[in-house]
Amino acid sequence: MSQDIPVPAPRIERFERLAYGMFIHWGVYSQLGRGEWVMNREQIPVAEYTKLKDTFTAADFDGRALARIAKNAGMTYITLTTRHHDGFSLYDTRGLSDFDAPHSAAGRDLIADFAEGCRAEGIVPFFYHTTLDWRWQSHSCDEARFNEYLDFLHQSVEVLCTHYGPIGGLWFDGDWSRRTADWKHDRLYRTIRRLQPEAMIINNTGIGNEGKVSHPDVDSVTFEQSMPKALDRRGHAKYIAGEMCQTMNSHWGIGASDYSFKSPANIIENLAGCRKVGANYLLNVGPTATGAIPEYEAAALAVAGRWAARNAVPVYAGKPTGIACQGRDFVLAADGKLYWFVHDLRIAGHGQVTVSVGGAGPRAAQGFQQPIRQVRWLDNGESLAFAQNPAAGVATVNFTGYPYGTNLVVRVAEIELA
């Protein structure tokens, strides 16, 4: 078998350079504040649940405002739940269903607002769409009913591909609810390729099947709530990307009593961990009942966004290298330079006011075949002493500690090659 790595299609190459995106789970369930699975978990009858559309005003939903928050966070794309498992659509289904945003108290097509707002701010819109539908009982209905449901599902996707301009991709979720079924992927994906030829096709394989390729037309594998692994693409017919999706707290939709939020430091470490293996990081927020991003999420994302801006070249353009570091450190290549991501530094200063968080000093790595000209911290330009044995591929850099008043969580050194 060939050991060559296939060349990525342009849409996949563009996707990898997007690097960092916002996931948004929002729908009528957000009014209850008990997560996106509340209909299923609490066995709310369809007739009762349907009434939630009558109070779904979307009064604070503003596509452009969402895009601004994402941009401020360093995110380059947003994946929004156009329809989740409860069957409510944020878009105008054009007669396929009346359980949609235009028939709710909102009285408007929220996906049109979202797509237009993203483009106005230079953010790429992606559409999440469920393949599991509790209203149809798609996970347990008989074969005839399931095939009828698939017609409805595929027609729904065709609406999304037709009425909202070019999109970054479609992100499907729910095939895991009926693992042995024929989902007629060939037909579905062929429709997407015809109507949105440059769109990414992503189909979440779910927890327990992370990194699995489910169909030849899929453009990226998923890692739900778990750090991604490096993909071995040698000998494959197609280059496929990777993406980790993760929640800010313990729920995808807003949990009014969920206080277990990630910190900016957590977000920075997870973004770095994804980029280490060349995967994208899709971080979820759950808007309020009326469609606003809660204050803590917006603030935490903004802080992490400042770190991403400081390290923009390696974060967005960096590619994994074969350089082996110790501990959590790693090296990416971008624009003809190398970038060493350094974890666990300490703050330099008087012992009475500094808290040691790790080691400064020399760190070695193997795989540096090309001579190094200079090494400097990317954030302040400070030159760093180094030694190298190119024949052995070994380099050692003396990493200085953080100046007092600074802690970047993960600090990046730029390495210029001779």
Return phi, psi of residue 83, to 5°: -150, 130
| 3-class state of residue 27 by DSSP | coil
* pLDDT at 289 (0 to 100): 98
- The pTM for the full model equals 0.96
Helix (H) or strand (E) holding 416: strand 410-417
* pLDDT at 358 (0 to 100): 52
CATH no., domain 319-417: 2.60.40.1180
Digits of tens for pLDDT over the chain (418 positions)?
A: 467 999 999 999 999 999 999 999 999 999 999 999 999 999 999 999 999 999 999 999 999 999 999 999 999 999 999 999 999 999 999 999 999 999 999 999 999 999 999 999 999 999 999 999 999 999 999 999 999 999 999 999 999 999 999 999 999 999 999 999 999 999 999 999 999 999 999 999 999 999 999 999 999 999 999 999 999 999 999 999 999 999 999 999 999 999 999 999 999 999 999 999 999 999 999 999 999 999 999 999 999 999 999 999 999 999 999 999 999 999 999 999 999 999 999 887 545 444 444 578 999 999 998 999 999 999 999 999 999 998 999 999 999 999 999 999 999 999 999 9
Beta strands in 124-273 (DSSP E): 124-130, 169-173, 200-204, 220-224, 241-247
| 3-class state of residue 63 by DSSP | helix
Around Cβ 106, how many Cβ atoms within 10 Å? 21
Q: Which CATH superfamily is 10-310 part of?
A: Glycosidases (3.20.20.80)
Q: Decide: 149 and 141 in contact? Cβ < 8 Å.
A: yes
Show contacts of 265-270: CB within 8 Å, 24+ apart.
265/409, 267/300, 267/301, 267/304, 268/304, 268/307, 268/408, 268/409, 268/410, 269/343, 269/409, 269/410, 270/227, 270/244, 270/246
How far apart, in Å, are the Cα atoms of 178 and each of 85, 137, 140, 173?
13, 11, 8, 11
Domain ranges of the chain: 10-310, 319-417
d(CA 158, CA 188): 9
